[in-house]
Structure 1
Amino acid sequence: MADNPSLNSTNSSSRRSLFRNRNSSRSITPFSTTSSSNSKNGGGGGGSTATTQPQPTHSNASSINGDRQVTNSTNGSIGGGGGDSGLEKGGGTSGKLTATPMINSNSIGSTSTGSKKGNHLSLKRFFKKLKPGEKLKHALSSAVEPIDTSLDLFHRYGEVGKLLGAGASGSVNLLQCKKDPNKVYAVKKFRNRLPQEAQSDYEIKVKNEFKVGDYLKHQNIIYTFELIKDYSKISKQKLDPDYYIIMEYCPFDFFNLVMSGLMGTNEIFCYFKQMINGVGFLHENGLAHRDLKLDNCVVNQHGILRLIDFGSAVQFKKEVPQGYTPTSEEIMLDSTHKLSFARGIVGSDPYLSPEVFEPLGPGYDPRTADVWSIAIIYCCMILKRFPWKIPKISDPSYRSFAAPTLINDENTSLENELKVLSMSNGVEETSTTPPPKEENGEGASSNGNNRTQHHHHHHHHHNSGPERLLKLLPEPSRNVIKNMLILDPRKRFLMPDVLSDAFVQGIQVCLEQKDENGEVVVESPSNHSHHLVTEEDLKKLAAEREREKRLKDVGIA
C-alpha cells in the first residue's frame, strides 16, 4: 500500500468534521438470543467473472431493512451451498481465492443440516417486511432525485448507466467507460439540502465523505476520484448546486453476503479483521466513522471489504497548546492533543453503543462507539441476527445482557428501573429461555495493551448477562468480543487493543498488494474462500430453498 497523507497533514478546511444527527425512524425487529446454529468452516467453488473494478458507496440507511442501496446482479455463477442455519458446512478450500458470483442451481440444495427446529430467526425471515424486489422502490420513495443520464459531467469516466440504488443520502449510478468496458465506476448524487439544514452543514457532509476516500488510502476504505459541483440547475427555487462523487465500483453488497447464509467461519473472521484494519486506520488518523453497520460495507470481486459512507465521521483529536491542563472530564490523547467528544445519535439503533443515548455530560468517545459497532456486526455475521433491537434497558434482550452486570456494580437506580419495567410490562427482569447448551469457555486471548481486559466473575445464571450472548460465538473470539462490548466505555477496548488481541492477530486475512509491475494482486489464505452473491443471486437462492422446503413438507425431499 502506498504511503498517503493523513487527515492531520491536510489544511484545516480539508479536515472539518461533520456533526450530523440522522436519527430517523427505524423499524427493526431483533432476533431472540435463545438459540444458535453451530459454526462450520465454509468452502466454495467457481471462478470469478466479476467486473475488474471497484465500487460505489451504498447510500446510508436509516435501518437495516430500510433505505439501503441495492446492488444489482452483474456477474456469472456461484458455487457452494448454504442453509437457513447460516454458516456453511464442509466444502473444499484451496490456496487460491475462489470468488463465486451467482447461484448454481445444482449446488443450492447442499444446505447445512446443522440447523435445529426452533432455531433463531434467519436473516431471510427477518427481512420479510421488505422483500428484495421492493427495496429499490422503497428507497426511491424518499424523494431522492435520480441522476440525469443526459448530463455530460462525467465524460472523462464514461456514460451514466443504470441506477444501482438509492437511500437516505443520495442515489448511485453505474459509470461505464466507452473505450474500455473493463473500466467501471460509480457516481453518487447527493440528496438535496433539507429545508431546515444549514448550508454549511450540508456542504461539510458532502466534502467530508469525499475527503476520507481521497486522502486516506487503505485497502478497506472506499476510493474516491473526484467531487463534482453542477450549477446547471440553479434557479430561484433551487439555490444549491448538485453534488456528485465519482468512486470505485465494488459489485457486492456486504449486507447481501451476510444475508445469504453462505459464509463460512474463517470467511467471517477474514471480514471481521478487514473491518478492524479499516477502522483502525481511520482511528490512527484521528477519525471515527460513527455509522458502522452491514449497509456501510461493500466488497469487491476479490473479497476485499471497503468501508463507505463517511457523512457522520468526526475528527476526535483536538490540538491544545503546550502545557495545557485538562479538566477532570477531559482526556488527553498525547501531550498536544485532547479527545474531542462526539454528540448526537447517528446510525441505526441495533449497532449503537449505549452511551450514545446519554443526554448528559460532555458527550461520548466516538472511538469506543466504533469498537462496539464492530462487535455487533461480528455477532450479526455469526448468528444471522441482532443481539437486540436497541441498547436500552427497555429492550428485553439488551436488558438480559446488561442488567446483571450493572446491578452487580451496585447500580441501585437501574435495579429500581427494572422493577418498574417488570411491573409495567408484565415481563420478568431477564429472559427465562436459556440458550442451547454449548461448551463453556472463554478465549485465552491476552495482550499487552494499555487497557486491562475485563472479566466478570459475578455468580448469576447464564440465561442473563454477557455470557448468554458470548457462549453463542466461536470460542476463540469470545474474549475480544466481551471486551469490545463492555458497558463502561472507559473500560472498553480501543482499536489498538482489538488489533493486538491474540485471536485477531491469528486471523488469516485477504490482503491487496502491488506486484513488481505496480498491479494490484490479492494474497488470499488457503483456509477460506469468499462467497460473493448479488441481489439477484439471493432471489434465486431464496426461491430454491423455498422449493426444497415445500418438497420436504410433502415428504418428497
Structure 2
Amino acid sequence: MGVLRRVLLKSKDTDSDVDDRIKLSDNHFTFPKRKYGTQQKQIGQGVSGFVHLYQNEKSNTFYAVKSFEKKNLKDIDEIKSINKEIDIHNRINNGPHIVKLIDSFKLKTNSKFFIIIIMQYLPLNLLDLYLKYGSLMPISYRLCFFKQIVLGIAFMHNQNIAHRDIKLENCCVDNNGNVKLIDFGSSTIGDIGYGMAGSPSYSSPEIHNSLKYNSIKCDIWSLGIVLINMFYASKQKWNTCRYDDEIFLYYQNNSSIDNAVRFLNKNDTNNVKEYTSQKTLIDDIILQLLSIDVNTRISIHNLLENKWFKETECCYPDNDLYKAYHNHSQFV
C-alpha cells in the first residue's frame, strides 16, 4: 500500500475538456530577471520551443526556462497545445518524480510574443549517465532509477494522463540522484491517442501502425525499452516497431528475451552476482512490458504489485522522511 498511497484517484477529464481556460499570470513586458535571473546557456530544444538555463546569482538558484515564440497571435491551435501542456503539468505538479513547475506567463516585447514556463533545473538525464557509465553503474542503482520512473508514470496514469514520450532523455535526475520526469508536450488527458508521438525507438507498435490507440498502454511498452536500457545497459534489437522492420517482425512472431535485447551479456564482472540473481525475473517483466498484444501487456497496477518490483530497493521521499538506499550522487 506504500506505493499506492502516493498516487491519487483517477481524473475523468479528457483532451476535449482542455481549452483556453488556462490562466497564465499577467503579461510581462520584460523577463523578470530579479526573480529568475539571467540566461546562461541553451540546454534543450523541442519542435516549437527552447529550454535555457537561468541563474539568479543573488540566491545562487538555477531554473530551466522553456520558451515558445509566437510570431502569429492568431495561431490558436498551437497556443491551445501549449496551454494543455501547462494544464497537464499543473495537474501532476505535486506528484512523486515529476519536475516542478514554478511559474508560467506571457512575455510581450515590442516585436515578439512568448509563452514562458519556469521549471526546476535538473543537471542531467539518464541518457547522460547511460552513455558515461553504462554497466559500470551497479545494477541495484539502475533498477532504483527504473522504479522511480515507474512510480512517476503510475502517478500520471492514476490522474488519467499518459506521458507518450518516455525515454532516458526525459528522465532527469537532481543533485541527489532522484529521478524527475520532464516534457509533457506529447502527453494526453485520457487514454485515447492519435498519430505519431514520442521517440520512434521507444514507441509501441500501435503508435507506428494505428491511427488510434491506447496511450496508457503505449507508456507501458516504453517502460519495457527503458528497463532493457537500465538492466542490460543495452538497447532493443529493432530500430522501430514498424511492419517494415524485419528484426521487429521476428520478435513479433518469436517473442523472447534473446530476440528483444541487442547485447545480453557484456561480461560485466562488476555485476555478475546481481545480474545472475535477477535476470530471470527481469526478463519476464520485460516480456510482459513488451507484449505485442495490448490486452496481455502488463498494467501499471500489476507492475506495482509484482513481487520483484515491490522488493526492489528504491530511494524516494516518503512522508517527508527521505529514504536513500544508494549513493546516486556519486554518479551525478
TM-score (norm 1): 0.49
Higher relative contact order (CA 8 A, sep 6+): 1
163-172 or 268-277: bigger deviation: 163-172
2:216 aligned partner? 367
Aligned to 1:180, the other structure's residue is in SS state coil
Distance (whole Å) between structure 1 residues aligned to residue 150 and residue 208 of structure 2: 24
1:313 aligned partner? 187
What whole-Å deviation, never above 9, does each CA across 1:205-226 have from its counterpart, x for those lacking one?
A: 2223223333321231111111
Instruction: Give 1:343 shift.
Output: 1.0
Contact 1:250/1:301, CA 8 A, preserved across alignment: yes
Contact 2:15/2:188, CA 8 A, preserved across alignment: no
Change (3 A) 1:186 1:498: same
Contact 1:480/1:501, CA 8 A, preserved across alignment: no
Instruction: Give 1:531 shift.
Output: 4.5
- Kindly indicate which of the two structures has a greater share of residues assigned to strand: 2
Change (3 A) 1:530 1:489: farther
Say whether residues 1:219 and 2:96 are aligned partners: yes
Amino acid at match of 1:184: F
In the alignment, which of 308, 317, 341 is matched to residue 192 of structure 2? Answer: 341
**RMSD, matched Cα:** 3.6
In the alignment, which of 212, 236, 239 is matched to residue 386 of structure 1? Answer: 236
Amino acid at match of 1:346: A
2:47 aligned partner? 168
Change (3 A) 1:435 1:303: closer
Larger radius of gyration: 1
Aligned to 2:239, the other structure's residue is in SS state coil
Say whether residues 1:245 and 2:96 are aligned partners: no
Distance (whole Å) between structure 2 residues aligned to residue 162 and residue 436 of structure 1: 39
Change (3 A) 1:383 1:161: closer
- Aligned pairs (5 A) from 1:146-295: 151-181=30-60, 183-192=61-70, 199-216=75-92, 217-234=94-111, 241-260=113-132, 261=134, 262-295=136-169
What whole-Å deviation, never above 9, does each CA across 1:324-373 have from its counterpart, x for those lacking one?
A: xxxxxxxxxxxxxxxx521111111111111112346xx21111100000
Contact 2:36/2:63, CA 8 A, preserved across alignment: yes
Distance (whole Å) between structure 1 residues aligned to residue 286 and residue 49 of structure 2: 33
Change (3 A) 1:350 1:198: farther
Shift >4 Å, 4+ stretches: 1-7, 12-15, 433-438
Amino acid at match of 2:247: S
Change (3 A) 1:3 1:510: closer
- Kindly indicate which of the two structures has a greater share of residues assigned to helix: 2
- Aligned pairs (5 A) from 1:496-511: 496-511=301-316
Identity, % of aligned pairs?
Answer: 26
Structure 2, unaligned stretches of length 5 or more?
A: 20-28, 268-275
What whole-Å deviation, never above 9, does each CA across 1:187-207 have from its counterpart, x for those lacking one?
A: 1112547x9x98333123222
Distance (whole Å) between structure 2 residues aligned to residue 13 and residue 367 of structure 1: 14
Change (3 A) 1:351 1:525: same
Aligned to 1:474, the other structure's residue is in SS state helix
Structure 1, unaligned stretches of length 5 or more?
A: 18-149, 317-339, 406-429, 439-470, 516-520, 534-557
Distance (whole Å) between structure 2 residues aligned to residue 498 and residue 398 of structure 1: 24
Change (3 A) 1:151 1:437: closer
Distance (whole Å) between structure 1 residues aligned to residue 6 and residue 104 of structure 2: 22
| Count of aligned pairs | 304
- Aligned pairs (5 A) from 1:335-484: 340-359=191-210, 363-381=212-230, 382-404=232-254, 474-484=279-289
Distance (whole Å) between structure 1 residues aligned to residue 204 and residue 284 of structure 2: 18
Change (3 A) 1:155 1:392: same
